[in-house]
Amino acid sequence: MPKLAAVTGWPLTYTRSPILHSYWCERYRIKGLYLRLPLAPENFERGVRALQALGFAGLNVTIPHKETAFALVDQRGLSAQRAGSVNTLIFEADGQIRGECTDGVGYVDSLREAGVELPRKTLVLGAGGASRAVCASLLDAGCSLTLANRTRTRADNLIAALGGGAVTDWQSWSERLGEFDLLVNTTSLGMAGQDGYDWVGSLTHADPELVVSDIVYMPLETPLLAAARAHGLIGVDGLGMLIHQARPGFKAWFGTYPDADPVLRARVVETLD
């Protein structure tokens, strides 16, 4: 019988996770299946318990279930505790469910793959769930951290929860950009259907050595990354984070820690056009 894992969320319109895990099963000759299983919020816990009972090794969890998964699990890894959310469920042999958050480490690994050395003076835009995981891992990597969010209180609360970093007003972050050498966008600005923000103007005060990173991968070149290119800045897209965050889960479920190779990236890129 093949080893079984899946991704769940609601909806699951854009997920590319099955491409990653199916590729790795093929490459490493593992008898495994990785499925796409949408679960509505009201069915999430029952669905997880049913999949565990059916012999699944675990699940990836995406929007809107990450906080619910955090509350559901029996054990939380340090990454999940720091992020306040869970994106990877591991069904243990003793019947317990372990929760991890691999988003932050996946993000940091994607920077290193792109040749970006850490630590850096970092400005992060956004204070949602994805931001917390990213910020926690950047702090753990030794980066200094400043956070800007359209709702100031959310940024203040996140910095307090992380125990490190500072907050700047959303209206003034672009004027301070020359103080930083890494800019990270974790907001939905720039996603498909979210165009209109003046990214070119916002980068006017950037240092020439600034690295600009966007965790969005649809589109692959977001308006922010296009603006960075127009200013002659280094840009890092969000696809690397997607690939690297998937690797620890694959290891837990299928027993092999997979590589993030160019062939896999190309396969995903083909589906983004």
Give me the CATH number covering residue 125. 3.40.50.720
Average pLDDT, the chain: 95
Indicate the DSSP class of residue 232.
Answer: T
Question: pLDDT tens digit string along 102-148?
Answer: 999 999 999 999 999 999 999 999 998 889 999 999 999 999 999 99
Task: Specify the pTM.
Answer: 0.95
- 87 and 190 housed in the same domain: no
- Residue 212 pLDDT greater than 70, yes or no: yes
| Residue-level pLDDT at 5 | 98
Regarding whether 231 and 117 lie in a shared domain, the answer is yes
Q: Are residues 76 and 21 in the same domain?
A: yes
Q: Over 60: is that where the pLDDT of 192 sits?
A: no
pLDDT tens, position by position, 55-110:
999 999 999 999 999 999 999 999 999 999 999 999 999 999 999 999 999 999 99
* pLDDT at residue 196 greater than cutoff 80: no
Give, in degrees to the nearest 5, the angle at Cα 258 between 93 and 260.
Answer: 145
Domain count, the chain: 2
Are 141 and 69 within one domain?
A: no
Q: Do 231 and 115 fall within a single domain?
A: yes
pLDDT the model gives residue 127: 95
Cβ atoms of 123 and 148 closer than 8 Å: yes
Query: What is the domain extent for residue 27?
Result: 3-101+245-270
pLDDT of residue 13: 86
Residues 254 and 134 in one domain: no
pLDDT at 137 (0 to 100): 97
pLDDT over 70 at 29, yes or no: yes
Amino acid letter, residue 49? R
Catalytic amino acids? 66
Contacts of 95 (CB under 8 A, 6+ apart): 52
With a cut of 60, say whether residue 193 has pLDDT above it: no
151: number of Cβ within 10 Å: 10
Helix 239-254, helix 262-270: angle, nearest 10 = 110
Residue carrying the six token digits 């896999």: 264
Q: Exposure string (b/e) for 84-112, b if CB count within 10 Å is 16 or more?
A: bbbbbbbbeeeeebbbbbbbbbbbbbbbe
Residues 97 and 198 in one domain: no
pLDDT at 195: 60
